[in-house]
Amino acid sequence: MRVLVVEDEPDLLASLLQAVREDGYAADGAADGEEGLYKAESFEYDAVVLDIMLPGIAGWEVLRRLRKSKATPVLLLTARDTVRDRVRGLDGGADDYLVKPFDVEELLARLRALIRRSASQAQPTLRIGPVEIDTAARTVSLHGREVVLTAREYSLVEYLALHQGKVVTRTALYEHLFDENESSLSNLLDVHVSNIRKKLGHEFITTRRGHGYCVESTE
């Protein structure tokens, strides 16, 4: 999963990016509304964390313009909790709303919920045959026994499982699993897939030649 954080306070931006990355996401940052809008429109993010009070283009305007082309889930950050701001945010197409100062654990929990909802997955646990994925704890088990995955392997498994039954292209995986600073070596994805198959069974991920990868739905 790849998240964009738009926040003009440098310390807060850095700490949010760190927290989001430690939670296993690829994450890009933007320090003002213009850069935030450009990135949100240019890349396929799974969620955007958007501060309202930004220099240049304000968060409200970023949201309004983004909604003309994209339905990316947006979590608004605001310094004040007023009913008017909340209504304006939700009416403007925001998916959630958090008032500063907030606990970073709450931000991460809300992000996970937003990403699940956008994949039409209300339950935090996904089941694919003998494999169970707990998206809240970010753990995976096979036949009831926990399997240790690297952060990147987990992200790949979760992304495919959230899109189970659909073929996910390599391009989409690169866009959703790597941030802008990472080099995307073309064989890296195959290495991760190969390692996941060793841990969760070869049949867990199907290769669709020329198209991408698929986790078949078993429900």
Q: Where on the chain is the footprint of Ca ion (CB under 5 A)? A: 8, 51, 53
Compare residues 85 and 175 and give the one whose CB is closer to Ca ion: 85
Distances (CA, A) of 140 to 102, 127, 131, 133, 205: 29, 10, 7, 5, 15
Report in angstroms how near the CB of residue 35 gets to Ca ion at its nearest.
13
The residue (of 39 and 199) whose beta carbon lies closer to Ca ion is 39
For residue 35, give every residue at least 6 positions away whose Cβ sits within 8 Å of its Cβ, in sequence order, or none: 6
Nearest residue relative to Ca ion (C-beta):
53
Q: Minimum distance between the CB of residue 54 and Ca ion, rounded to whole angstroms?
A: 6
Distances (CA, A) of 34 to 20, 48, 110, 212: 22, 14, 25, 33
The least CB distance from residue 40 to Ca ion, in Å, is 16
150-155: long-range contacts (C-beta < 8 A, 24 or more apart)? 150/195, 151/24, 152/177, 152/192, 153/192, 153/195, 153/196, 153/199, 154/24, 155/1, 155/24, 155/25, 155/26
The secondary element (H helix, E strand) that includes residue 56 is none
The smaller minimum CB distance to Ca ion, of residues 8 and 23, is found at 8
Q: H or E stretch including 76?
A: strand 74-78
CB of 79 to Ca ion, least distance (A): 7
CB of residue 80 to Ca ion, shortest distance in Å: 12
Q: Which is nearer to Ca ion, 11 or 219 (CB)?
A: 11
| Residue nearer to Ca ion on the CB measure, 46 or 51 | 51
CB of 85 to Ca ion, least distance (A): 14
User: Cα–Cα distance between 137 and 74 in angstroms, integer?
Assistant: 22
Look at residues 207, 27, 12 and name the one whose alpha carbon lies nearest to residue 111.
Answer: 27
User: Which C-beta is closer to Ca ion: that of 53 or that of 167?
Assistant: 53
* CA quadruple 20, 21, 25, 30: dihedral sign: positive
